[in-house]
């Protein structure tokens, strides 16, 4: 069954991928196009974070979440990176990226909880029947073990062998290959 949250997660994932892509491209372009090396060094540090985590928007959703979480930890833990983001005007985009990542994780958790409560009717009935057979079998084994186990096991094996042996077919009385035609005497 398709969760209603799936489309929302996809939409948020696309937005997050777009923001991450814009941040990465801006950092790379500033590195490549700026003649002022004092400014370019700031952008190289930001671009390096994307390169270090090998962020790609074509990866699985969980992998993307993990990489963005790691990137966010770097951005928030290093003061130089925070200053670099501010110098490039990417602080707002970084805030949006963090917010979207948090929303995606919350939606995925809600979707997983929603799907974990669904019980398919046929599967449930099958499990209940299997459980009943299993309990009966265990009860039988326990009873056999309490009451003369060697004798009961031998009887059960003999009964099983008798059931497995197929009766031989009755011998053919006609002798002509089993045809139903009665022979006629010639005159």
Torsion angle, CA of 56/62/67/70, rounded to 10 degrees? 170
Model pLDDT, residue 183: 62
Model pLDDT, residue 96: 92
One domain for residues 30 and 62: yes
One domain for residues 76 and 110: yes
Neighbour-count burial of 23, counting CB atoms closer than 10 A to its CB (0-12 exposed, 13-18 middle, 19+ buried): buried
Q: Under a CB-based contact definition with an 8 Å cutoff, are residues 13 and 55 in contact? A: no
pLDDT at 173 over 60: no
pLDDT at 132 over 80: yes
- Average of per-residue pLDDT values in the chain: 78
Count of domains for the chain: 2
Q: Under a CB-based contact definition with an 8 Å cutoff, are residues 17 and 64 in contact? A: yes
Of 50, 82, 116, the residue that ends a domain is: 116
One domain for residues 18 and 86: yes
One domain for residues 49 and 125: no
Mean pLDDT of 54-61: 79
What's this model's pTM, rounded to 2 decimal places?
Answer: 0.55
Question: What is the Rg, in whole angstroms, of the alpha carbon atoms belonging to the chain?
Answer: 37
One domain for residues 45 and 77: yes
Cα first-last separation, the chain: 82
One domain for residues 104 and 151: no
Mean pLDDT of 131-140: 88
pLDDT confidence tier of residue 170, bands split at 50, 70 and 90: low
Model pLDDT, residue 113: 83
Neighbour-count burial of 8, counting CB atoms closer than 10 A to its CB (0-12 exposed, 13-18 middle, 19+ buried): middle
Mean pLDDT of 72-88: 86
One domain for residues 141 and 86: no
Cα 51 to Cα 157: distance, rounded to the nearest angstrom:
68
Cα 81 to Cα 91: distance, rounded to the nearest angstrom:
10
What domain range includes position 140? 121-162
pLDDT confidence tier of residue 15, bands split at 50, 70 and 90: very high
One domain for residues 78 and 108: yes
> Percent of the chain beyond pLDDT 70?
75
């Amino acid at each position: 069954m398709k969760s209603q949250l799936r489309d929302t997660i996809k939409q948020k994932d696309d937005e997050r991928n777009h923001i991450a892509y814009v941040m990465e491209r801006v950092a790379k372009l500033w590195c490549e196009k700026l003649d002022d090396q004092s400014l370019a060094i700031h952008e190289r540090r930001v671009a390096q974070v994307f390169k270090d985590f090998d962020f790609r928007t074509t990866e699985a959703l969980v992998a993307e979440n993990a990489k963005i979480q790691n990137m966010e930890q770097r951005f928030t833990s290093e003061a130089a990176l925070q200053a670099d983001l501010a110098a490039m005007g990417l602080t707002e985009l970084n805030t949006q990226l963090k917010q979207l990542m948090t929303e995606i994780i919350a939606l995925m958790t809600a979707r997983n909880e929603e799907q974990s409560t669904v019980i398919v009717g046929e599967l449930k009935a099958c499990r209940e029947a299997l459980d009943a057979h299993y309990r009966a079998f265990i009860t039988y084994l326990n009873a056999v073990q309490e009451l003369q186990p060697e004798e009961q096991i031998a009887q059960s094996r003999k009964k099983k062998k008798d059931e497995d042996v197929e009766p031989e077919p009755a011998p053919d009385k006609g002798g002509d290959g089993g045809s139903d035609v009665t022979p006629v005497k010639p005159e």
